[in-house]
Structure 1
Amino acid sequence: MTSKVLAKVNGREITETDFNNFFASLGQQVQAQFQGEAGMQRLLDELIYQELFYAEALESKVEETEAFQNELELMKESLLKQFNIKQLIESVSVEDSEAEAFYAENPDMFKAQPQVEASHILVDTKEEADKIAKEIGEGLAFTEAAEKYSKCPSSQQGGSLGFFQRGQMVPEFEEAAFKLNLQELSEPVQTQFGYHLIFKTAEKGAETQTLEAVMPQIKQQLLVQKQNQAYLEKVEALKSKYTIEKL
């Protein structure tokens, strides 16, 4: 399928494919500067400007100058190095059987930590927390109390913090949350943020992740290891093949 021609400079076509490839090469931060119709036009103008410099370079025979030839040789050397390494890295693969063996040999790596699901209400003083706890005890729904009193952004979700494991919350908070029984409301818990009323809604014990769930993760980890090993082994082989002099 022929790509749409967007412009011609000195007879050379700039196609939609050229444009898209150039845009893709810029990176997200630069791409953000060329959003919208005006931005796209500026990008096309830049491609046109580059073609103008190319036309002048051909006309003035820049390619034949010693400086250009030296630069070209440096770029060729760099490209050959990177291309050869790329071929080596891409020749490495990981079989499912290797991932399965790694999973079987390292069971502790795939055990999910115990988790708690809880909601909370955050206020500034213990007196406020005690007052709210009393209202909840008299029938006010915890979610309503959170929406009404809590100064934490989670109040918009009825105080819900979702599931979390040890190490994700401040110590005083998580210690209280893990000790609670299901559907139990805590006494006011003081942390650096204020006073919390914590309501435990669910919990998960330590569970082993399934092989299917972690297969992509294992294969990626093993792939990186095998690529590094292949690189180092190739380096050692080349060391014995070619001379090295450190001056």
Structure 2
Amino acid sequence: MENKILAVAAGNEITEKDLNAIISRYPEDRRAAFQTEQGKKQLIEQLISFELMNKFGKEIELDKTQEYKDAIESISKEVITSMAINKVLGDLTVTDEEVKKYYEDNKEAFSQPATVSAKHILVATEEDAKKAKQEIASKELSFEEAAKKYSTCPSKEQGGNLGSFSRGMMVPEFEEAAFNLEIGVVSEPVKTQFGYHLIVVDEKNEASVKSFDEVKDMVLNQLMQQNQHKKYDQILKELEAKYGVDRK
């Protein structure tokens, strides 16, 4: 593919390849802005400015100053260090067998507790709870309408909806009633420290363990990171013994 010359500044060609290299350094969500004609012109002007200032710097012999030499040495050290780390860690792999074994040995880490999705109505007295339940049973009001009419809980604005929760997230009396209720059945008044509740369960999910396929990529990444840290620490200890370190 032809590498089109877009400009020549201080005797140096600025090409399409140079422009694309600059664009690729931006985050993906910002690259589109530089794909327009105006965006490309803006970047070309930046590249022209870079070439002109670079030429000027050489003309006044900044590349012969100690400051320049120190900067180059610092950059060189960073590049060599980065390349050395990549060299050490680049050949690490994790096999499918290792991923599968980790999953089998740590299945409890991928378990999901049983949950219920429920609505409730919270009132001060048992009589109020029974009154609300009677209106729901006679179909004078839906559960959601009764929640808005009677409930003192802020969830009344969502028809009493509490969303999904697992054991340990609610007070014991409420939790016990919710997990033992049949779906769609309005409970008897349930007394807790907050008052009296009417509860209806919309959905139940049994406790489960995520399948291997669901977590395979996550486990692979986790094992890779563990192996990299282990290898890196091992290499550092070997290099410390080889080159010496004097911690002051």
The two structures have a TM-score, normalised by structure 1, of 0.71
Q: For residues 126-155 of structure 1, what are the alpha-carbon distances to aligned partners after superposition, in whole Å with 9 as ceiling and x for unaligned?
A: 47x746544322223335656888854973
Q: Which residue of 1 aligns with 2:20?
A: 17
Q: CA deviation at 1:8?
A: 5.5
Residue 118 of structure 1 aligns to a residue whose secondary structure is strand
Residue 94 of structure 1 aligns to a residue whose secondary structure is coil
The separation in 2 between residues aligned to 1:3 and 1:171, in whole angstroms, is 69
- RMSD over aligned Cα atoms: 4.2
Q: Which residue of 2 aligns with 1:231?
A: 232
Q: For residues 88-119 of structure 1, what are the alpha-carbon distances to aligned partners after superposition, in whole Å with 9 as ceiling and x for unaligned?
A: 22321211100111122223223221111224
Q: Which residue of 2 aligns with 1:98?
A: 98
Structure 1 stretch displaced more, 62-71 or 194-203: 194-203
Query: Percent identity between the aligned chains?
Result: 28
Amino acid at match of 1:106: N
Q: Is the 8 A contact 2:118 2:203 kept in 1?
A: yes
The separation in 2 between residues aligned to 1:90 and 1:9, in whole angstroms, is 39
Structure 1 stretch displaced more, 86-95 or 13-22: 13-22
Structure 1 stretch displaced more, 93-102 or 75-84: 75-84
The separation in 1 between residues aligned to 2:73 and 2:80, in whole angstroms, is 10
The separation in 2 between residues aligned to 1:213 and 1:110, in whole angstroms, is 10
**Are residues 63 and 109 of structure 1, via their aligned partners in 2, closer, same or farther at CA, if it must alter by over 3 Å?**
same
The separation in 2 between residues aligned to 1:3 and 1:199, in whole angstroms, is 69
What aligned pairs does 1:83-232 form with structure 2 within 5 A after superposition?
A: 83-120=83-120, 126=124, 130=129, 132-139=132-139, 140-142=141-143, 152=155, 155=158, 162-166=163-167, 169-171=169-171, 174=175, 176-186=177-187, 187=189, 197-232=198-233
Q: Would you say 1:67 and 2:74 are equivalent positions?
A: no
The two structures have a TM-score, normalised by structure 2, of 0.71
Amino acid at match of 2:27: A
Question: 5+ residue gaps in structure 2?
Answer: none
Q: Is the 8 A contact 2:177 2:190 kept in 1?
A: no
Amino acid at match of 1:222: L
**Are residues 98 and 185 of structure 1, via their aligned partners in 2, closer, same or farther at CA, if it must alter by over 3 Å?**
same
Q: For residues 19-55 of structure 1, what are the alpha-carbon distances to aligned partners after superposition, in whole Å with 9 as ceiling and x for unaligned?
A: 4124339xx7xx6xx8998x94896365554444333
Q: CA deviation at 1:81?
A: 1.3
Residue 23 of structure 1 aligns to a residue whose secondary structure is coil
Q: Would you say 1:244 and 2:245 are equivalent positions?
A: yes
Q: Would you say 1:54 and 2:54 are equivalent positions?
A: yes
Q: Is the 8 A contact 2:9 2:48 kept in 1?
A: yes
The separation in 2 between residues aligned to 1:120 and 1:40, in whole angstroms, is 56
Q: CA deviation at 1:57?
A: 2.0
Structure 1 stretch displaced more, 45-54 or 74-83: 45-54
Question: 5+ residue gaps in structure 1?
Answer: none
**Are residues 154 and 22 of structure 1, via their aligned partners in 2, closer, same or farther at CA, if it must alter by over 3 Å?**
farther
Amino acid at match of 1:67: E
Q: Is the 8 A contact 1:189 1:197 kept in 2?
A: no
Q: How many residues matched?
A: 236
